[in-house]
A = this chain, B = another copy of it.
Amino acid sequence: MVVKVYGPAFASPKRVIACLIEKEIEFETVPVDLLKGEHKDPEFLKLQPFGTVPVTQDGDYVLYESRAIIRYYAEKYKSQGTDLLGKTVEERGQVENWLEVEAHNFNPPIYALTLHLMFASKMGFPPDENLIKESEEKLGKVLDIYEERLSKNKYLAGDFFSLADLSHLPFTQYLVGQMGREYMITSRKHVSAWWDDISSRPSWQKVLQLYAPPF
């Protein structure tokens, strides 16, 4: 069965695609244009009632929420492609810990920066300069903690690449690219080495080559 992934132009679905490539799982993509509001179409809401991307459809098995989808495929195909969950239950615990740190500490400020630096003008609202400043400060503090962590471990969950690292790829790519905030990464030695490592993986390079961002 080929896995269908909805919304490949956008950031969160790229987590899923990077994971499927790492796991050597066949997939196809279905465009959903958030800027045209296609995620609020009644047909789409039948698949994903909260009206966000990504969604995956695998026969009649449907999942949404990118970090749930990557956990599912990483576990279902544990021994195929790259192992993304660690070898032991303790290693997996650390993967879970840093996946949650990404979701609850790293993502809120970087998402706010994405919205206000990249999407605001396209979506017809003025960027909130105070929020941009505040979010950059918050993100900087999070990256200081990452710097400390990555001075002791090559990757976030330990000395192995995992879902916890992979989950950072899409929004950090915006940060160093369209957002022009590369210095937030390069000014931190260990974060910078980690970013060079994870962003040069063939899976991520393929995602960037195949699925252009929305503008």
A interface residues, Cβ below 8 angstroms from B: 49-50, 61, 63-65, 67-69, 71-72, 75-76, 89-90, 92-94, 96-97, 99-101, 103-105, 142, 145, 148-149
Our pick among B65, B90, B96 for the contact of A97 (Cβ within 8 Å) is B65
Supposing A50-B105, A103-B104, A104-B103 touch, asked if A61 and B97 sit within 8 A by C-beta, the answer is no
> Complex: how many Å from CA A101 to CA B61?
17
Copies of this protein chain in the complex = 2
> Complex: how many Å from CA A174 to CA B65?
26
A82 to chain B minimum Cβ distance, whole angstroms, is 18
Prevailing SS type, chain A contact patch: helix
Q: Give 10 nearest A-B pairs by CB, closest first.
A: A65-B100, A68-B96, A72-B93, A68-B97, A68-B100, A49-B145, A71-B96, A76-B89, A63-B97, A50-B105
